[in-house]
């Protein structure tokens, strides 16, 4: 089961762990998950994060990270997940930190995440769909991640189809 996810977080350099603000995820079947942490300290966020992330959180309830981790694990279910994110490095670290160390990830989960941007670059960096609204809101970004993945999948199929349609010419 492919899961497209995004996190919003506070990052303050190597002296401090990344702090989860929110997690949004979408399964390929359309099921959605969204949670906001009650454990981040807004005063440690950069002005950019306060303006572009925290102000967009709204009034949704906030939860402890252990609860978010348990709920997310249950939401993922027993299927072996395939996680996808856009510029995934920090998102993957903060998701893994919800469970402790990477070795503490739930049974059957991969110890890596697939990166939509890296796949995009590998395909020649085609234009991705524009995100019309909700940028830097974890659930809206997760929804866009799914659309971006779908557009790359179609692009890759078109490339493969083009190669099959081109006549093979021997070099002289």
The model carries a pTM of 0.91
**Burial of residue 85 (number of CB atoms within 10 Å: 0-12, 13-18, 19+):** buried
**170 inside domain:** no
Please state, in angstroms and rounded to a whole number, the distance separating the CA atoms of residues 2 and 61.
Answer: 27
Domain that holds residue 51: 2-165
CA–CA gap between residue 160 and residue 91 (Å, rounded)? 31
Confidence of residue 165 (pLDDT cuts 50, 70, 90): low
100: left (phi over 0), alpha (psi -120 to 50) or beta: left
- pLDDT for 167 equals 56
Range with the lowest mean pLDDT among 30-39, 52-61, 68-77, 145-154?
52-61
pLDDT of residue 171: 46
- Write out pLDDT tens, residues 74-98: 999 998 999 999 999 999 999 999 9
Residue the block writes with tokens 């402890």: 64
pLDDT score recorded for residue 172: 44
171 in a structural domain:
no
Q: Which letter does DSSP use for residue 133 in this model?
A: S
| pLDDT tens per residue across span 41-78 | 999 999 999 999 999 998 889 999 999 999 999 999 99
| 140 assigned to some structural domain | yes
Cβ partners under 8 Å of residue 110, min gap 6: 80, 81, 82, 83
Domain-located, residue 21: yes
Closest CA to 83 of 73, 65, 38: 73
- Asked if the model's pLDDT at residue 149 lies above 60, the reply is yes
Domain assignment present for residue 53? The answer is: yes
Q: Answer yes or no: is 42 within a domain.
A: yes
Identify the pLDDT of residue 92.
97
- Among candidates 33, 59, 35, 55, which has minimal Cα distance to 46? 55
Instruction: Establish if 172 belongs to a structural domain.
Output: no
Tell me what pLDDT residue 168 has.
Answer: 54
Number of domains in the chain: 1
* CATH value at residue 57: 3.30.420.10
14 occurs within a structural domain:
yes
Q: Cβ distance 40 to 15 under 8 Å? A: no
């Amino acid at each position: 089961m492919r899961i497209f996810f995004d996190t919003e977080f506070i990052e303050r350099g190597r002296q401090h762990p990344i702090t989860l603000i929110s997690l949004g995820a979408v399964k390929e079947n359309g099921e959605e998950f969204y949670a906001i942490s009650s454990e981040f300290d807004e005063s440690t966020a950069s002005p950019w994060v306060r303006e572009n992330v925290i102000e967009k959180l709204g009034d949704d309830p906030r939860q402890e990270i252990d609860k978010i981790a348990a709920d997310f694990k249950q939401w993922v279910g027993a299927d072996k997940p395939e996680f996808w994110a856009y510029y995934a490095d920090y998102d993957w670290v903060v998701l893994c930190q919800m469970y402790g160390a990477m070795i503490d990830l739930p049974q059957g989960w991969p110890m890596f995440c697939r990166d939509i941007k890296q796949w995009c670059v590998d395909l020649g960096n085609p234009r991705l769909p524009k995100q019309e609204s909700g940028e830097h809101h974890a659930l809206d970004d997760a929804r866009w991640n799914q659309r971006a993945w779908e557009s790359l999948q179609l692009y890759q199929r078109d490339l493969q189809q083009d190669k099959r349609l081109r006549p093979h010419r021997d070099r002289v």
